[in-house]
Amino acid sequence: MRLVVPLQGVVQGRGGLIFGSLIPCALFYFLQLYLKRHRSPRNPPSPSASLQNLAEMNRTSSRSNLLSRGSIGPARISSLATSISKPNDSPYYIGLDKVSEDPYDRFGNPDGVIQLGLSENRLCFDLIEKWMLENLTDSIRGRDGDDLSISGIASYQPLDGTMELKMAMAGFMSHVIGGAVSFEPSQMVLTAGATPAIETLCFCLADHGNAFLVPTPYYPGFDRDMKWRTGVELIPVHCRSTDNFTLSISVLDQAFNQTRKRGTKIRGILLSNPANPVGNLLSREILCDLLDFAREKNIHIISDEIFAGSIYGNEEFVSIADVLDSEDFDKSRVHIVYGLSKDLSLPGFLVGVIYSLNDNVLVAARKLTRFSSISAPTQKLLVSMLSDARFIKEYMETNKKRIRNMRDLFVSGLEGLGIRCADSSAGLYCWANMSKLIPSYGEKGELELWDKLLNVAKINVTPGSACHCIEPGWFRCCFTTLDEEDIPLVMERIRKATDSRAS
Amino acid sequence: MAIEIEKPSVGLSKVAVSDTHGEDSPYFAGWKAYDENPYNESSNPSGVIQMGLAENQVSFDLLEKYLEEHSEASSWGKGAPGFRENALFQDYHGLKSFRQAMANFMGQIRGGRAKFDPDRIVLTAGATAANELLTFILADPGDALLVPTPYYPGFDRDLRWRTGVKIVPIHCDSSNNFQVTPEAMETAYQCAESMNLKVRGILITNPSNPLGATIQRSVLEQILDFAVNKNIHLVSDEIYSGSTFSSSEFISIAEILENRSYRDSERVHIVYSLSKDLGLPGFRVGTIYSYNDKVVCTARRMSSFTLISSQTQHLLACMLSNKEFSENYIKTNRERLTKRYDMIIKGLKNAGIECLKGNAGLFCWMNLSPLLEEPTRESELELWKTILNEVRLNISPGSSCHCSGPGWFRVCFANISEQTLEIALERIHKFMEQRRRN
């Protein structure tokens, strides 16, 4: 109202109408601007930073799109780089980051975050250490009589791995599956870890925009390793707790058809056997059915068997190589991925394997290994270790026992809290059903529990949604990075956090 | 282009069937000939002498000596106290001690004229992976990078194969010793634009492969100015920086940036590796050094596909942080390479062959254009075949390096013994004499 009086004076003067309309508009505009800046955020109060990271993701992505679009500012980076540089958005990675910031240590940092989110095996490290002490100096530079001076390992090696290491690996892999299959070294390509092995295979089998069918729940890392640079899509094939997350061919077929209908070409199926995160095994029958399916649709099968040496149950592990051997299936469409980071507790040494009977794939994969070859001193060391049959036998037997022991303790600890786990025979983790403990039955409720466990109970577990599990409330808990003494503490922390259900 | 192999066998991807890996070029064909009939002083004195492999074998004894005297490098010390941590370490940041050692070593090589921050170092399994990774980060599929010719044949594969990025050459010629000029850069840029390609960066190799010469300060300034002007990235592959014959002649882009107080530095990225300077290609050790935080962060995450084993990192951290070793190595390596270079230049001169004046690297850039029937690529390849089959030397023809003028060849001298080099020079001498007589 008070505005009108001075305006009258203006209006009655020259240019009155213009000023008469301009000034209120301008004032209105500034009023809106003021209100916008000082308006309190309409979001519900976020309980913690981790959840907020997830919520922030949508906002930051649109902001960075703006930055990468124009040529304002410094030389731009690629669209791929822009998306990779965003803050971690998966609970899997957020949890790992939290642990590195504040890692639990029984003596040094007893209130730190306990790591149950990394499937690494530390139970038999003492055996590896012992072997190193007894054998090391010889293994790098060789025993007398061998031509193993530094020039032997310094110069260019075959980029897909030395024949000595391939032979040692072939022997080891065969041992791991109980001698059921004999692996041919010339059908192997070695890479600096299983991560590049999977990516390399993907580059060989699929074009940008093609897809792979992947049974869920699956290892969260696949979303990076298989998709980032290859431009490939992963189509989830949902498995359910009603049959202990067993893969069903009819669900697979449905997913295949649905994907094809929308114009996306499926190049293959990505299996994890033993499965991660559930820890169950694919039976011989299902493997045969899968091979039939692959032949019918003319697609590939990648079988990630990296946990093959971590079998602790009584069920027999059947490698897809075994099925190929014994039945008359088309061998050219199957490719196995393996590595030493799980079974031999040497993740830092980075040894991965692509095993394929398709020579065209091998030829292409071999050329691609120039981007991810294993370091020569490490190859040398591992040839020594893997060829020590006595050591390997003792190691694998002890390893199984200790994993079994730890699993039994951990699972019964969870059962004491009313938390049951899926049936599993392998892997370094258990798949726990915490659906009764989540505040609301859905992904939101699951993530709230995850957040509470991470930030209040301070244990890092991986929520099922990060693994694309269709049923909410499941969590993967890795127990092979623990000591037995820590288990009661873990259970205590979970109990405390879930008893006091304040929110 | 991608074809499904006829049914019912299952198809492969475009990447798998493409020939962008380049292994069918003469550069690699010569290697095959060598593999089939390799020279050996005692058992096969008339075999093919390998002079197409840029590998440094002149200073192995220094590495051997270090490892003999420092067993803690390869065994984690008495009782292996650090072993556990090392074997479990798979953080893509890399061992801090190793990054620190690399940063110091890179500074030493540049005579202390540039300093490197260990937190800007991203580790990769070799420079091959470093170059590919940078390309993935700086350019989208279909974009282009400008690269001065002649260039390392491997770039066609490393920069283009999986990335889908294109290379547009900046043509350099012998009239000014193959130096890059602003005009040549502008021409290449326009050429890319006319093909509707977005130029994202310029990639130089300094010291140059295959020229075996360092880039002059004024040219580096011009290249940086060009990159600033066009608002594109500059990648400097300095893999031969420790193989310069004299420390003062090599000027790194890092020094240029320091002189400009790091203005415009966020567009500059350096690639380095221990494969050439330290003669350890089998160890697979490469680095990306970037002045751009986002590039560092992204490269680090992407390096998960190309990590260096923690065992190797530990070994090299010990070795490179030993000041006595590294200083002595750099100095001695330089002296030996210089000696080799002088030897080959003299030998070639006696045979009537001129080379580009070089001051770095493991090779020399030889001018055989007077011997060509016609100044054409075909003629050059004919000559190359003759040298491979009759003289039994594997050298790299300039055309495989995209050299615009025919008749130039890259000849490596550091991957063979002095005796073998003598034999090679003798063979060349005889060959040239025969040609003169005819």
| DSSP assigned state of A298 | T
E strands present in A256-384:
266-272, 300-304, 334-339, 352-356
Token pair 């230049």 is at which residue? B345
Residues 6+ apart with CB under 8 A from A223: A90, A234
Domains along chain A with CATH numbers:
86-124+393-500 (3.90.1150.10), 147-388 (3.40.640.10)
Q: Which of B158, B234, B284, B318 to mutate to test the interface with A (most CBs of A within 10 A)?
A: B284
Phi and psi (nearest 5°) for A480?
-90, 5
Minimal C-alpha gap between A363 and chain B (Å): 8
Which string of b and e fits B392-425 if b means at least 16 CB within 10 Å? bbbbbbbbbbbbbbbbbbbbbbbbbeeebbebbb
Chain B residue at shortest CA distance from A334:
B10
pLDDT at B123 over 70: yes
Predicted pLDDT of residue A51: 58
> Could you write out the DSSP letters of every residue in B55-97?
---TTHHHHHHHHHH-HHHHH-STT-TTHHHHHH---TT--HH
Chain A residue at shortest CA distance from B67: A150
The answer, yes or no, to whether residue B42 has pLDDT greater than 80, is yes
Q: Are strands A459-460 and B286-290 parallel, antiparallel or unpaired?
A: unpaired
> Which position among A104, A218, A219, A355 bears the catalytic label?
A219
CA–CA min distance B59, chain A (Å): 10
B173 CA to chain A: closest CA distance, Å?
A: 29
pLDDT by residue (tens digit) across A219-245?
Answer: 999 999 999 999 999 999 999 999 999
pLDDT at residue A39 greater than cutoff 50: no
> Using CA atoms in the order A304, A308, A314, A320, what is the torsion angle rounded to 10 degrees?
50
Closest CA relative to residue B26, chosen from B380, B338, B344: B380
Q: CA-to-CA distance for B265 and B252, rounded, in angstroms?
A: 13
Strand partners, B170: B148
* Contact flag B305-A199 (C-beta cutoff 8 Å): yes
Query: What is the average pLDDT value for chain B, to the nearest integer?
Result: 92
Interatomic CA distance for residues A94 and A453, integer angstroms: 13
Question: How much is the ipTM here?
Answer: 0.91
Tens digit of pLDDT for each residue in B326-358?
A: 999 999 999 999 999 999 999 999 999 999 999
d(CA B184, nearest CA chain A) in Å: 21
∠ CA B361-B362-B365, nearest 5°, is 80
pLDDT at A55: 47
**pLDDT for residue B148 is more than 80:** yes
Helix %, strand %, coil % of chain B (to 5)? 50, 15, 40
| pLDDT above 60 (res A269) | yes
CA A163 to chain centre: 30
Residue B118 reports pLDDT greater than 50 = yes
Mean pLDDT of the A316-341 span: 92
Contact A361 B16 (CB under 8 A): yes
Partner-chain contact B60 A150, CB within 8 Å: yes
What are phi and psi for residue A236, nearest 5 degrees?
-75, 140
Which residues in chain B have Cβ-Cβ distances shorter than 8 Å to A370? 126, 128-129, 158
Strand order in the sheet with B286-290: B121-124, B286-290, B268-273, B233-237, B199-205, B144-148, B166-170
Strands B393-394, B49-50: pairing is parallel
For chain A, give the mean pLDDT.
85
**Cβ contacts of A267 on chain B, cutoff 8 Å:** 11, 13
Of the listed ranges A161-170, B2-11, B97-106, B401-410, the least confidently predicted one is B2-11
Nearest residue to A430 (alpha-carbon basis) of A453, A447, A406: A406
The answer to whether A198 touches A337, Cβ cutoff 8 Å, is yes
Look up the pTM and report it: 0.88
- The answer on pLDDT for A185 being more than 90 is yes
DSSP code, position B162: T
Q: Give the one of A300, A341, A374 whose C-beta lies nearest to B10's C-beta.
A: A300
Active site residues per annotation of B? 152, 237, 239, 276
| Tokens describing residue B282 | 């089998």
Instruction: Confirm if A388 and A135 have CB atoms less than 8 A apart.
Output: yes
Statement: residue A493 has pLDDT above 70: yes
- Coil/strand/helix, residue A72: coil
**What pLDDT shows up at residue A47?**
41
Which chain A residues contact residue B123 at CB under 8 A?
none
B10 vs A229: CB contact, 8 Å cut-off?
no
Chain A neighbors of B297, CB-CB under 8 A: 85
Cβ contact (<8 Å) for B309 and A377? yes
Contact residues, chain A, for B125 at CB < 8 Å: 192, 371-373, 375
* B7–A298 C-beta distance less than 8 A: yes
Q: What would you measure as the largest C-alpha separation in chain A, in angstroms?
A: 110
Q: Contact B283/A132, CB-based, under 8 Å?
A: no
Domain annotation for chain B: domains and CATH numbers: 26-61+326-432 (3.90.1150.10), 76-322 (3.40.640.10)
pLDDT in the model for residue B104:
97
Residue A96: HSE in the Cβ half-sphere, 13 Å Cα cutoff: 15
Contact criterion met (CB below 8 Å) for A375 and A161: no
Q: Name the one residue in this structure whose structure tokens are 């634009």.
A: B193
Annotate A372-388 with DSSP letters as a single string. SPPPHHHHHHHHHHHH-
Q: Cβ contact (<8 Å) for B312 and A378?
A: yes
Check whether A158 has a pLDDT greater than 50.
Answer: yes
The answer to whether the CB of A116 falls within 8 A of the CB of A487 is no
Task: Report which secondary-structure segment, H or E, holds B146.
Answer: strand B144-148
Q: Please indicate whether residue A398 or residue A11 has the higher confidence score (pLDDT).
A: A398
- CB within 8 Å: A78 and B75: no
Q: What's the pLDDT at B71?
A: 78
Test A133 with B79 for CB contact under 8 angstroms.
Answer: yes
Contacts of residue B307 in chain A, CB cutoff 8 Å?
192-193, 350
The strand pairing partners of A190, in sequence order, are A353
Which residues lie below 8 Å from residue A100, measured CB to CB, with a gap of 6+?
B91
Question: Which of A375, A384, A385, A395 to mutate: most B Cβ within 10 Å?
Answer: A375
Mean pLDDT is lowest, of B66-80, B178-192, B411-425, for B66-80
- The Cα–Cα gap between A434 and A230 comes to 35
